[in-house]
Structure 1
Amino acid sequence: MDAGAKAKNEALGPEAVRAFLSDNPDFLRGDPALLAELGLRPDAANVVEFGPAALARVHEAHRRESTARRQLEATARANFAAQAQTHGAVIDLLESRNHSDLARRVDELAQLRFGLVAGVVCLEGPERTPAGWRTMVEGQIDMIIGHQNVALMGFQPTALGLFSERAEQVKSMAMVRMALWEPARQGLIAFGSADEHGFTADMGAELVAFLARVVERTAERWPVL
């Protein structure tokens, strides 16, 4: 194989192209067809300028960058607002006077702070359930969110009954398992949204889980009477 054929089979890297153009500055200026294909044009001063195609590419790249930046900023603002609302919700929950008041505050913060349909606190077992809490049969939490799962984000038809008369408005849910008292009883905190995209499977459940832990600790202040 001669040197020419070998050169054709070798990949021409960016540095080699750059070096060639640097050593042969007239190469592009002497090839109007190639300049047009690249979206460039030489002006009267023999300086290569950006043509419409090149400018369009630069504009499109800038547009994509600006859109991505705006999306990141919007996400950051939404996350900050959600965290601020969650911190306020914690203060509300800690001021609860009893189990019934705690359940009422969960529902109120869901509606007033987060714009949701409802927030409910549920408890499994044949033993007494605090006033204002939803009663669930043993094993029902596993049936709803899965035996191995601590949380579920999205829509789960079997959970609609938790929201009673507001069930028809709920299009997505955020649910987190709880363990209360000693010996532990299984519980669940559930929030319902009227937006089918309000809670989705790809969302993190950290803030909801944080509220669940607050409810657990607050509820343990009082015995179930």
Structure 2
Amino acid sequence: EAAEREADARKRIESIARANFAAQTQTHVAALDLMEARNPSDLARRLDAAAQGRFGLAGAAIALEKPGGVPFGWRGLEAGGVDSLLGEHGLTWLGPNFDGLSLFGASEAEVKSVALIRMAPQFPGAETPARHAICAFGSPEPDGFTPTMGCELVAFIARVVERTAERWPILS
């Protein structure tokens, strides 16, 4: 009986390990795809496509605070918008979608839970050293993103988005 319990526990652990490895692999492939973006609009399109195609999410978006230009395909946030969503020192939010977020366009109705990751890209030629931004992921599942989850993989993707976006100046 004890051997059977141990075998079942080992099978569960192996199953979780396989799922984690698959998620890491998909994350790395998505990162490579994001790094091939040709401009900010292409980056946003690739991020959304990776979120849907590789991870089964409802969508993903990049939001950038004003003042200043916001690239086509990105969402604009009013000044202080990142702090209002994440708190002044908050880096991430994983949990249920909430009214007024409005980052996912046509997919907004499908989004039941979200992961929001703070970014601070530094664009070439910009007057300010960095602009506040968010990389957002939307899940169609209510428990797709929860506060108790680790956010390492979505944070990794957000860092790739942030660094890739820094290649291009933001035009007004």
Q: Would the TM-score normalized by the shorter structure come out above 0.5?
A: yes
Deviation string for 1:24-69 (max 9, x for gaps)?
Answer: xxxxxxxxxxxxxxxxxxxxxxxxxxxxxxxxxxx2x444323322
CA distance in 1, matches of 2:9, 2:137: 30
Per-residue deviation at 1:99? Answer: 0.4
TM-score, length of structure 2 as denominator length: 0.91
Answer 1 or 2: higher relative contact order, Cα 8 Å, separation at least 6: 2
Query: Considering only CA atoms, is the larger Rg found in Structure 1 or Structure 2?
Result: 1
Aligned length: 166
Deviation at 1:160, TM superposition (A): 3.7
Q: 1:145 aligns with which of 80, 86, 91?
A: 86
Q: Which runs of 5+ in 2 are unaligned?
A: 123-127
Matches within 5 A, 1:117-132: 117-132=58-73
Identity %: 52
Matched, 1:86 2:34: no
Measure how far apart 1:82 and its partner are: 0.6
Q: How big is the alpha-carbon RMSD for the aligned residues of Structure 1 and Structure 2?
A: 1.4
Partner residue, 2:134: 188
The match for 1:200 among 143, 146, 163 is 146
Q: Take 1:148 and 1:75, find their aligned partners in 2: how far apart are those partners? A: 32
Long gaps (5+) in structure 1? 1-58
Contact 1:89 1:113 in 2 (8 A): yes
Which 4+ runs in 1 deviate beyond 6 A?
A: none
- Single out whichever of 140-149 and 95-104 deviates more from structure 2: 140-149
Offset of residue 70 of structure 1: 2.1
Q: Distance in 2 between matches of 1:136 and 1:207?
A: 24
Q: Does 1:75 align with 2:16?
A: yes
- Equivalent residues of 2:118, 2:134 under 8 A apart: yes
TM-score by length of 1: 0.70
- SS of 1:152's equivalent in the other structure is strand
Counterpart of 2:112 in structure 1 is 171
User: Where does 1:1-225 land on structure 2 (aligned, <5 Å)?
Assistant: 59=1, 61-158=2-99, 160-181=101-122, 183-225=129-171
Amino acid at match of 1:190: A
* Alpha-carbon distance, 1:159 to partner: 5.8
Question: What amino acid maps onto 1:199 in structure 2?
Answer: F
Q: Is this contact kept in 2: 1:93–1:105, CA < 8 A?
A: yes
